[in-house]
A = this chain, B = another copy of it.
Amino acid sequence: MSKKWVYLFREGDASMRDLLGGKGAGVAEMTRTGVPVPPGFTITTEACNAYYENGSQFPDGLWDQVLDALKDLEAQTGKTFGDPANPLLVSVRSGAKFSMPGMMDTVLNLGLNKETLEGLAKLTDNPRFAADAYRRFVQLFGKIVLGVDGEKFEHVMDEKKGHGQRLDTDLSTEELIEIANIFKQIIKDDQGVDFPEDPYEQLREAIAAVFKSWNGRRARDYRRINKISDSLGTGVNIQMMVFGNMGNDSATGVAFTRNPSTGEPVLFGEYLVNAQGEDVVAGVRTPQPISELKATMPEVYAQFDGITRQLEAHYKDVQDVEFTIERGKLWMLQTRNGKRTGVAALRIAVDLVNEGVIDKATAVQRIEPAQLDQLLHPMLDPKERAKVSALTTGLPASPGAATGKAVFHPDEAEELASQGEKVILIRTETAPEDFHGMVAAQAILTARGGMTSHAAVVARGMGKPCVAGAGELHVDYANQCVHVNGHTINKGDWVTLDGASGEVFAGKIPTIEPEISGHFATFISWTDEFRKLGVRANADTPQDARTARQFGAEGIGLCRTEHMFFEGNRIDAVREMILADTVEDRKAALAKIEPLQQGDFEGIFREMNGFPVTIRTLDPPLHEFLPHHDEEIRDLAQKVGQEFGKVKARVEELREANPMLGFRGCRLGILYPEITEMQARAIFKATVAVKKEGIDVHPEVMIPLVSTINELKRQEQIVRRVAGEVQAETGVAFTYMVGTMIELPRAALTANQIAEVAEFFSFGTNDLTQTTFGLSRDDAGRFLPLYVEEKILPDDPFQSIDQEGVGQLVQMGTERGRSTRPTLKVGICGEHGGDPASVEFFHRAGLNYVSCSPFRVPIARLAAAQAALGEGKRDK
């Protein structure tokens, strides 16, 4: 006996999504619960897979089971498939486990041919309706099953209607028949086949077409992008036709049980009288809001309202339903969980909890962390967006939309912004010295660099929109303009960009500010009841720290002291320090920086009252602080009173073949201990200062780029000595911790040794990914996209942590560190701290906290809660 390939609707239920697909399981469940659903049956996803395994032939027994099911359908409906006297017509639809655009949609009215058309006309006493159904069927079948370009059919329709002078409904029976015949000729000309008159032949071809659409290009692309397995297969649903186009007592429509845009708890939808489903979607006529149904068909409306309430209660979630009213009788065609915006998702979750439908844990598991992202950034007004097309598209490096005047230099950005202008900073790529311009700008646009380029990282840190690596831009600094695909944007021209899509537009497009309603606060507070991971923020300024606290950060996991080096005129002292010939000169320059750093730390400590603040000592290569063009070097030489040649030589000397692997991190503090000393002093003097104000302060000094315990020991000794000195000088005692970044493979491998000294670890997963893969994030753009596209790597490892490789080092480092020091506090402060899949991994790895940019804190909180609830893995 062959396998069971076919299930009648009454044989299935909601639990059978794997086998019947989402749509099939949905109608089966509705059937089971007594909702009026037109009878039908579902061909299983296994049959689809068997079809492919069988060389694109129906597997043994499938067709026989289809015929048996058809018999059952005939018995239920009292109609007969292919019978001119009383024809049974069916719809055929695809239905995979996950809703997927790109697969075959729907063929309606299947079973019509010249003979049954006559029967239908007689039976309904409505020849025009029958002709219209026939026309629709031939058109859909020709387009969807036989693959004729739909434009060709539309063109004929358009001509017949006098190019917009008449509506579809104005076409006469004869005209419709004529059109159907023209369609058949088009099919013959185009595909070289006759339109099949035999209903069984129609059905067989339609089923095969659904199977084939599973491997169509668009479906495969969609699965690749959405990481859905190719091996799931699709189901095929065959269902008795009901007709919303049988007169003014007929209608068809779609509805959501709650508003999918706002989450408002009212029935939301629209319908068309005397129409079939496709008309609603196609926008041929303007549909009426569902509320009008109450007035025109009060009984049907009441029944519909009851059914949708029943369905929502049954599924415990908002339902997206399709329905048809045939001569006053309501038929439910489909129900599924409704897609919704982030705002709506939050409100619905909160309302459902308040209504007692679901519990908080369910609510927390129901929101995709990425949905929160929408709520945290402005977006382009969709109506205005629709009117224009993008100039070019770069990488969506930091979400949010912004509009402003183009500027090409950070100083100009600063100047214009100070005059109240909104500006967009456009650069080939950005460097740390552009920081002030990035602060001043609404958004940043670069021609080079990846998702983790300087521009992208800094912009995300500031929660500012950024489009990076828009390779078609050619920035011409000399002429203060940028060329892109034949278009030129000059300084001062309006530009708009969308950091969520990577699109760049000429001109001004209005943006919509996000509304963070009370539901958001309610919802996000629930996450804290479940999560085990702490969530901190990466913040470098008091302003960042404040934002971080507002988003619920429980401390700072990474404060990058070097970002402070660029503010105002500080860079002069920093450069003086770098150019110093002697330890004394270096100390003199450092002495100028110390009070400024102290002030920064004080500000941050105040914002983080009661929470820990992890401060990383100087990390980047020194050449990042120096100018690189002769003119700037000349200026600098004058400022520090050295000869041009000498300064230039020093700049050259500091240039590195591989800066990522060069003279940076703790290597700086080891060669120049006075730098670490100054930073430690600034930290501890700030600690004392705010302590005196009554602030509860918890400084954690973090040494970067450690590869061996000996490096850490040396830096730790300096920090502890200075801490002792400051306590002695001020007479104020304080507690603090000294720890290290684990961002090199060797540090993870020797974590048991390093933990002898380190009181905490923070995994720097950006650098750890770079070194573990031997992959520079600045240079990966040439091949990494191909790697992801062709599944050489499952994901961009800079966006979502590489669990198999880099993840091993995270686990190893954590285990080995704790084997030496069981109380070791372990966190992570790379970009991955804000990535939900990575957060789930860090939860499993037993880390104490993640730290991410302030704007991703809510996402991390949610992801951490979901991880704790065991919902981090989604089965796809």
Contacts and interface: CB of A to CB of B under 8 A. Distances in A.
Contact of A661 (B665, B746, B750, B776): B776
A787 B805 CA distance: 29
Contacts of A710: 791-793
A174 interface: no
Given A705-B774, A792-B708, A746 B779 contact: no
A65 interface: no
A799 interface: no
A783 B658 contact: no
A661 B707 contact: no
Interface string A652-679: 0000111111110101001100000000
Contacts of A746: 772-774, 802, 805-806
A450 to B, nearest CB: 11
A4 interface: no
Copies in the complex: 2
Nearest to A711: B792
A434 to B, nearest CB: 16
Contacts of A780: 662
A671 to B, nearest CB: 5
B663 A775 contact: no
A868 interface: no
Interface string A809-832: 100000000000000000000000
A804 interface: yes
Contacts of A787: 670
Given A707-B805, A750-B805, A772-B744, A658 B792 contact: no
Contacts of A772: 707, 744-746, 749, 771
A809 B779 contact: no
A525 interface: no
A550 interface: no
Contact of A671 (B671, B711, B771, B786): B786
A718 to B, nearest CB: 14
Interface in A544-560: none
B661 A775 contact: yes
B745 A792 contact: no
A422 to B, nearest CB: 31
A660 B805 CA distance: 20
A808 interface: yes
A699 to B, nearest CB: 26
Given A657-B776, A658-B660, A774-B707, A670 B792 contact: yes
Interface in A778-804: 778-780, 782-783, 786-787, 791-793, 802, 804
A805 B809 CA distance: 13
A776 B658 CA distance: 6
For A661, A705, A773, A787, the residue with the greatest tally of chain B CB atoms inside 10 Å of its CB is A661
A744 B805 CA distance: 11
Contact of A774 (B671, B743, B750, B804): B743
A805 B671 contact: no
A793 B745 contact: no
B745 A782 contact: no
A401 to B, nearest CB: 29
Interface in A661-709: 661-663, 665, 667, 670-671, 705, 707-708
B663 A661 contact: no
A285 interface: no
Contacts of A786: 670-671
B779 A658 contact: yes
Interface in A347-398: none
A19 to B, nearest CB: 31
A537 to B, nearest CB: 25
Contacts of A792: 670, 708, 710-711, 714
A580 to B, nearest CB: 16
In this complex, which of A745, A767, A773 has the most chain B Cβ atoms within 10 angstroms of its Cβ?
A: A745
Nearest to A805: B746
20 contacts: A657-B659, A657-B660, A657-B779, A661-B774, A661-B779, A662-B776, A662-B780, A663-B779, A707-B773, A707-B775, A710-B792, A744-B773, A744-B774, A745-B771, A746-B773, A746-B802, A749-B772, A749-B804, A749-B805, A771-B771
Given A660-B661, A714-B792, 20 more contacts: A656-B776, A657-B660, A660-B776, A661-B775, A661-B776, A662-B776, A662-B779, A663-B783, A665-B774, A667-B782, A670-B792, A705-B774, A708-B805, A711-B792, A745-B805, A746-B773, A746-B774, A749-B809, A767-B774, A771-B772
Interface of A: 656-663, 665, 667, 670-671, 705, 707-708, 710-711, 714, 743-746, 749-750, 767, 770-776, 778-780, 782-783, 786-787, 791-793, 802, 804-806, 808-809
Listed from nearest, the 6 A-B pairs whose CB atoms lie closest are A661-B776, A658-B776, A662-B779, A746-B805, A657-B778, A745-B745
